[in-house]
C-alpha cells in the first residue's frame, strides 16, 4: 500500500497538507490536512512498510496502545481511499 504518485505532503503555515502535483492536479481539487501522527503515517505509506509495521512503529514512537493506533490507521486509510490517494 502506498500513496499514489503525484501527491506530496507539505508544511504550510504550520499545517501538514497534501498537495497534488503533475497529472494528479487534474483529478484532485480538495485539501487534506494532517496532524503530526497522520503526517508520519502518510510518509510511511511508501510501499515499503506493511500496515502492521506502520501501526507498530507509531505505537512505539508515541507510546500508544497498538489497538488504538490500528483503529486510527484504518480510519486514515479509508479517508485516503475516499479521495483516491492510495495504490494498494
User: Are 54 and 45 contacting, i.e. CB atoms less than 8 angstroms apart?
Assistant: yes
CATH class assigned to 2-87: mainly alpha
Quote the pLDDT of residue 10.
94
Quote the pLDDT of residue 28.
85
Residue 70's pLDDT band (boundaries 50, 70, 90)?
very high
**Nine-digit cell string for 66:** 497498538
Average pLDDT of span 49-69: 97
Quote the pLDDT of residue 49.
96
- Write down the H helix ranges in the chain: 24-27, 36-44, 51-62, 66-82
**Residue range 17-48, pLDDT digits in tens:** 999 998 888 888 788 999 999 999 999 999 99
Domain extents in the chain: 2-87
Amino acid at each position: 500500500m502506498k500513496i499514489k504518485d503525484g501527491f506530496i505532503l507539505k508544511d504550510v503555515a504550520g499545517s501538514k497538507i497534501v498537495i497534488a502535483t503533475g497529472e494528479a492536479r487534474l483529478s484532485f481539487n480538495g485539501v487534506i490536512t494532517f496532524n503530526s501522527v497522520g503526517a508520519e503515517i502518510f510518509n510511511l505509506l511508501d510501499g515499503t512498510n506493511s500496515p502492521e509495521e506502520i501501526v507498530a512503529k507509531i505505537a512505539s514512537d508515541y507510546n500508544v496502545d497498538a489497538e488504538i493506533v490500528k483503529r486510527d490507521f484504518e480510519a486514515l486509510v479509508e479517508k485516503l481511499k475516499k479521495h483516491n490517494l492510495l495504490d494498494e
